[in-house]
Structures are given as C-alpha cells and as structure tokens.
Structure 1
Amino acid sequence: MKPMIGVPMDLIHDIDCIMSGGLPDMMIADTPMETIDGIRAGGGMAVGLPLVCGEEQAMEVCRRIDGLVVPVGQDLSPEASGVPVNGHSGVFCVKKDKSDIYYIKAMKALDKPILGLCRGMQLMNAAAGGSMIKHLPDILDESVVHSSPVVPTDYILHQVWIEENTQLALVYGTKEPVDVNSFHHMAIERPGEGYRVAARSRDGVIEAIEDEPGKRIGVQWHPECLFKEREEHRKLFERFVELAREGMK
C-alpha cells in the first residue's frame, strides 16, 4: 500500500489575503501540480487537505495520513513570521498560514514525517519559534541570486553546501555542492527549536533545516520543479515517502 501524503491546499475562501499596499486580494487555488507529481514519483499517494481552524481538526486529519508535504506559496504573514508588513512584502494569507502550522504541529506531535518546500520550510521554522529575515537584498550583495522573475522554474540559480551527518547528506549522497533553483526573498535567520541547519548557500543563507532524527526536512529550493530531469532531487521525494512508509509498519 502506498503511503498517503497530505498536501495542504490553497483555496479561495474570502478576502483575508492582503497585499503590501493594504489592498484586499482573493486567495488563489494554487497548489502546484509539480508537488503532486513529486510525491507520486517518490512512490506516495498525494491527497489534498482542507483549511483547518484549530489543533483538534488538524490532529483528526493527520491521524489518517502518513506524511505531510507543506508546499510552496506566497510570503509568510506577519503573524507567522514575526516580520511586519514592509515595502517588499508580497501576497500572504493569515488563515492559510495558521492552518498549515496546525498541520505541522500535529504531525510533529504524532512523530510523522514532514517535507517543507520553500514557504513550507519557512512555516516549519516559524511553527518552532525560529526567526526570519524579511528581505535578503537588504543585507546581501548580489553575488548569489536567490530570486529572479525572468527565469523558468527549473533554472539553476546557485549551489548549496549540505552539512555532513544529516538526512539530506544521505539523500543527495555527495560532498560536492548541489545545484538548486531559487525563488525567495525571505529566509531563515535562526532555526526554530529542535531544528538544525542542513544546508547553506555560498553567502551563508540557510537553505535547508531538519530535526535530529531527520524525519522533518525543509528545503528553500524547489525540488518539485527539478526531479524529472535531475535524479538527485527525485531522491528527496523517494526518501521522504520511504520515511512515511516506515511509519506505517
């Protein structure tokens, strides 16, 4: 039986999604198909999860799944990130962030695996009390490009160096830098409780975190856009699904 991997969906629900200019904006149904495809390629069965309004609802759902992928998306809300709205803020949704954090905390309480992709990694960190950098260009030069609006999603923008003795090191199986794509302007400043740095880019930006058992992993890049052409990124989905399968025994 394939492990059942939950993916919190972005749903149109109301106008609580706002932009940095203070204007209301509708939430878009926008869970990329690439995420679903990555789970399937790894051997799992992806199921969409609805918004939840509290810990009990999240726990009820999470008891029925074997793993959780927190997908890519918009910026984190100030409530989640601790970063006030500023001139660089993009679209965010308070309800969506709260719902995803409920799922993250429930899965951790159940000791089930989590994979966070870009925004998903940032939410994992926020749920554990970590801190965020609000806008990388404010503190870094442009020697490493972390985001570009003019390149395709599978375009390699920079490399990351994976820390030894981590789950990611086992997955990628190399001491050489790994090519990644990148579409973010926020970043983790300090890992939350229970997480450690698993990878960095050349300029020191935290590119991945994981907990000590390695069952909960977050990456700042987008393996869901790379796994079809690059085997090393497919292995991340395969290992995650394997962790979910181990929990079924």
Structure 2
Amino acid sequence: MAIIGIVGTPYHTVDKTPFWWNKVTYTRQSFIDVFQTLGHTVLILPVDQPEKAEVYLQLVDKIVLTGGADVSPQYYGEEPHFKLETTDPIRDAFEFAIIDAALKFHKPILGVCRGLQVLNVYFGGSLYQDLSQTTSQIKHRQSPTPQEFPTHHVLVDQQSSLSFLPEQYFVNSFHHQAVKNLGEGLKAIAHGTDGLVEAIENKEKGVLAVQWHPECTWTTEAFDRQIFEYFANRSL
C-alpha cells in the first residue's frame, strides 16, 4: 500500500477560534479518512523551506495538494485584483518545490481546489483572480449549502483519467478563482456548464486535479471515492 503525503495548510490567524490562539498546520480529517479506509498510510507534510522538498518526497509515494489561500498572482505575472483574498507566498513556494520534486522522482500528484490552481500556475498557466472576471452565472461558492451536497454539474471527458465518472457529473463547489489560461502540458478534462475548467491532467507526469472537493462527499458519492482509489492505486 502507498504512503500518501498531504501538504498541510498553515493557519496563521491567532484569534480564539478554531484553534484557541495557536498557529497550526492542518488538513481536513476527511482526506486522512479516505486514504486510511482504502488501506494506505498518510503523512501530513508541514510547509518548510523549498530546498527541503526533496527530503519530504523521499518519505512518501504520492503527493496531495489541498485547498486554502489564493495562489499569489505574482507567480503568473499579474497585479492583485481588488477581490483577491488571502495569499500565502511561503506556501506557494514550498508547494512549487514539492511539485518539482514529485515530477523529478516520478511520484503522482493529486490536486484538489487550490491544488488544481497551484498546479496550473506551476505549469505556466494563469487564474481568474475572482469569478467576477468571468461571465459565469453559476454559484461556485455554494455556502451556506453544506459541503457534502453537490450543487452544480460538470461535463467530463470520457477519454480522460476521469472516464469512470458519468459524462455529466454533479459536484460540490467552494472556490472564487478558476483557471484562465491552461498551463503547458496540461489537458482540461472536465468543464462546468459555464465553460470553466473543473479538472486537469497530465497523464505522462502523473498529474490529476479537480476543482471540487471529493473529500467532502466520498462517503456518500461512490464516484468521488473512486477518484481517491484511482489516484492511490495508479503508478507511473
């Protein structure tokens, strides 16, 4: 079975909630639960200096990049839009180094939400810093609807790594940014009905990423569970 490395999310705010004045690095328990249920071992990797990335990669077989802060627009050559939200350039730099190391050592990468966006930027793509820059009329940040309920459809490429999903699939959604220009070597393999990119891949490099949050729905949506099964069981 695989050792899955999940890059942790730094939480810098020191108000009382949710961590009682403590700065922490965390990941959603649901990421841990799904991989453990599938029989794999999980390690949470703290954000560190970029030069340490290869050390961490020696400990794991696969890498998961999760949600969180907006990717800093400096990495794709733009000034910050007035609707840009919290950024974390230190996390950005470490995750770019983690991607570098994963590609160097031929270890598969799964991106979820921000994870998709940081992968797209790593490969030279860009982002809509806020969905107000698009013509989309779909609500992509579904709150207050709970995270375990799908709210909009995506259209899935049936010749892609996600071919096990229905051609029209119902997903949850918690993002205000999206792919603008696709990164070099990446293929868009799912789109919203508004045309926005909802999943990407590079099969040769072992890269797969989705814009929705299957970790929130894997216990109730069998196809979302299969995303993790596919990733955990595949090899380059």
TM-score, scaled to structure 2: 0.89
Cα distance in 1 for residues equivalent to 2:216 and 2:13: 29
The answer for the alignment partner of 1:188 in structure 2 is 179
Q: Select between 37-46 and 69-78 the one with higher mean Cα deviation.
A: 37-46
SS of aligned partner of 2:149: coil
Deviations along 1:168-223, whole A, 9 cap, x unmatched?
A: 11x32x33x01100011110112212211110010100000000337210100000
| 1:7-86 matches, cutoff 5 A | 7-11=6-10, 29-54=25-50, 56-86=51-81
**How many matched pairs?**
229
The answer for the alignment partner of 2:147 in structure 1 is 153
1:132 matched to 2:154: no
- 8 Å CA contact 1:196–1:212 kept in 2: the answer is no
| 1:85-104 matches, cutoff 5 A | 85-104=80-99
SS of aligned partner of 1:213: helix
Choose the corresponding residue for 2:112, options 117, 130, 137.
Answer: 117
1:238 matched to 2:229: yes
The root-mean-square deviation of aligned C-alpha atoms, in Å, is 2.1
Cα distance in 2 for residues equivalent to 1:240 and 1:212: 11
Q: Which amino acid aligns with 1:150?
A: P
The answer for the alignment partner of 1:163 in structure 2 is 157
Choose the corresponding residue for 2:192, options 185, 190, 201.
Answer: 201
Q: Which runs of 5+ in 1 are unaligned?
A: 16-25
- 8 Å CA contact 1:42–1:235 kept in 2: the answer is no
The answer for the alignment partner of 1:210 in structure 2 is 201
State the percentage of identical aligned residues. 30
Deviations along 1:130-185, whole A, 9 cap, x unmatched?
A: 1111111232242x22113311111212011111311111x32x33x011000111
Q: Which runs of 5+ in 2 are unaligned?
A: 15-21
Cα distance in 1 for residues equivalent to 2:205 and 2:102: 14
For residue 236 of structure 1, report the CA deviation from its aligned partner.
0.5
Q: Which amino acid aligns with 2:55?
A: E
Q: Which amino acid aligns with 2:142?
A: S
- 8 Å CA contact 1:41–1:234 kept in 2: the answer is no
Cα distance in 1 for residues equivalent to 2:86 and 2:24: 10
Q: Which amino acid aligns with 2:29?
A: M
The answer for the alignment partner of 1:3 in structure 2 is 2
SS of aligned partner of 1:167: coil
Deviations along 1:21-62, whole A, 9 cap, x unmatched?
A: xxxxx96534211222222233321101122312x4211211
For residue 81 of structure 1, report the CA deviation from its aligned partner.
4.6
- 8 Å CA contact 2:187–2:202 kept in 1: the answer is yes
- 8 Å CA contact 2:142–2:172 kept in 1: the answer is no
SS of aligned partner of 1:29: strand
